[in-house]
Amino acid sequence: MKTEFISQNEINLSTLTHAGEILRCGGLVVFPTETVYGLGANALDSTAAEKIYAAKGRPSDNPLIVHIASPDDAEKYAHIGEEYKRLSKAFMPGPLTVIMPKRNCIPSTVTGGLDSVGIRCPENKIARDLIKAAGVPIAAPSANISGKPSPTSAEHVKVDLDGKVDAIIDGGECTFGLESTIVKIENGKITLLRPGAITLDMLNALFDNVEVADAVTNKLSEDARPLSPGMKYRHYAPSAPLYLLNGSDEKRIAYCSAAGEDTLLLVFDEEAELFSGHSIITIGKRGDEKSQAKRLFAALREADATNCKKILAPMPRKSGIALALYNRMIRAAAHNIIDL
């Protein structure tokens, strides 16, 4: 299929109305959000949702997130309660997905066969204007080929999905760069399934009973049934093995300096000059976890374009926004940690 590209300076009411119509009629449109790019289809149309799985090569039991234009629309698609109202008042529109029992209008193809549905109201204005133009909720996972890092620019999307979707809207670089925080509400209990820009501390400020799913930080055993199906799939992993270096900056820099020439080093921006002669990719400013979150997926894609045999990277902290980085990097590294 021929993919239509809507560039940043072409975004206006008429092009978004056109893209909305493609969605309403069962087509696929990639759109920017504040987290990563989403691959959208009409969430009320089972056949349209199936096209998402085909385009991504995504296993059919891995559910999609349903995107809405206003937090109040959630009750049309899910059984909401007090907890959703508090979460949406505090963090929506924004980078938060809330899992709740689904209503019948959401087909089970969208939810990977589950009785629950993930609802998110993005902050990105292009995303919300598109959903409004479509006039239907939009089911959208990240707009990458399954298993690859999520796309944070329209260029990444083109590499993965050109010719497989009807249209791609270029909204520039995503402001956060890691996927949304996911929380599940079940019988009044709140569980963090995936960390993101809405941090555990922010959730703890609202509720006194937030649990953290095991898979956020720990390796799942082969037979474990994760609460969030996406957690069981190989994710983000570059083709060369990645090792996280756990130790002080001095020890890490010394360890990296001794690495052989087929090793790629992921280093902070201000460390680049220390490694002349080595193969390096910079991953944001040291101590600035927001800039690292924004860079991570692009850096992993760049790493794949080299023919290194091994990759070394700093191990992130587990607190605040860094927990989201830790969660993505520990999986990219298949839990391989080198203690220095």
Using CB positions, name the residue nearest to ligand AMP. 230
Residue closest to 244 by CA, chosen among 277, 270, 219, 274: 219
Shortest approach of ligand AMP to residue 274 CB, angstroms? 35
Nearer residue to Mg ion within complex by CB, 87 or 231: 231
Shortest approach of ligand AMP to residue 39 CB, angstroms? 8
Asked if residue 141 binds ligand AMP (CB under 6 A), the reply is yes
Residue closest to 204 by CA, chosen among 90, 80, 35, 100: 90
The answer to whether the beta carbons of residues 27 and 167 sit under 8 Å apart is yes
Shortest approach of ligand AMP to residue 266 CB, angstroms? 22
Asked if residue 230 binds ligand AMP (CB under 6 A), the reply is yes
Q: 63 touches which of Mg ion, ligand AMP, none (CB within 5 to 8 A by kind)?
A: ligand AMP
The answer to whether the beta carbons of residues 238 and 332 sit under 8 Å apart is yes
Question: CB under 6 A: which stretch of 14-22, 40-48, 58-66, 299-307 binds ligand AMP?
Answer: 58-66
Residue whose structure tokens are 């609802």: 119
Which residue in the set 33, 42, 88, 111 belongs to the binding site for ligand AMP (CB under 6 A)? 111
Question: CB under 6 A: which stretch of 12-20, 45-53, 114-122, 248-256 binds ligand AMP?
Answer: 114-122
Q: Which of residues 281-320 bind ligand AMP (CB under 6 A)?
A: none
Structural tokens at position 133: 């133009």
Question: CB under 6 A: which stretch of 57-65, 278-286, 314-322, 330-338 binds ligand AMP?
Answer: 57-65
Structural tokens at position 86: 């508090």
Which residue in the set 142, 175, 191, 282 belongs to the binding site for ligand AMP (CB under 6 A)? 142
Question: CB under 6 A: which stretch of 109-117, 161-169, 260-268, 311-319 binds ligand AMP?
Answer: 109-117
Cis peptide bond upstream of 93, omega within 30: yes
Shortest approach of ligand AMP to residue 35 CB, angstroms? 9
Asked if residue 35 binds ligand AMP (CB under 6 A), the reply is no
Shortest approach of Mg ion to residue 209 CB, angstroms? 28
The answer to whether the beta carbons of residues 242 and 332 sit under 8 Å apart is yes
Nearer residue to ligand AMP within complex by CB, 281 or 321: 321
Distance CA 127, CA 38 (A): 9
Distances (CA, A) of 25 to 48, 81, 163, 321: 9, 32, 18, 38
Which amino acid, one-letter code, is at 59? P
Cα torsion 286, 330, 33, 197 to 10°: value is -60
Q: Which of residues 121-150 bind Mg ion (CB under 5 A)?
A: 141-142
Ranges of beta strands (E only) in 232-331 are 242-246, 263-267, 279-282, 310-314
Shortest approach of Mg ion to residue 151 CB, angstroms? 9
Nearer residue to ligand AMP within complex by CB, 126 or 253: 126
| Residue 305 CB burial class (10 angstroms; 0-12, 13-18, ≥19) | exposed
Q: Which residues contact 86 (CB under 8 A, 6 or more apart)?
A: 206, 207
CA atoms within 13 A on the CB side of 123: 16
Which residue in the set 99, 165, 267, 311 belongs to the binding site for ligand AMP (CB under 6 A)? 99
Asked if residue 62 binds ligand AMP (CB under 6 A), the reply is yes
Q: 117 touches which of ligand AMP, Mg ion, none (CB within 5 to 8 A by kind)?
A: ligand AMP
Residues engaged in binding Mg ion (CB under 5 A): 141-142
Residues engaged in binding ligand AMP (CB under 6 A): 62-63, 65, 99, 111, 114, 116-118, 141-142, 179, 182, 193, 228-231
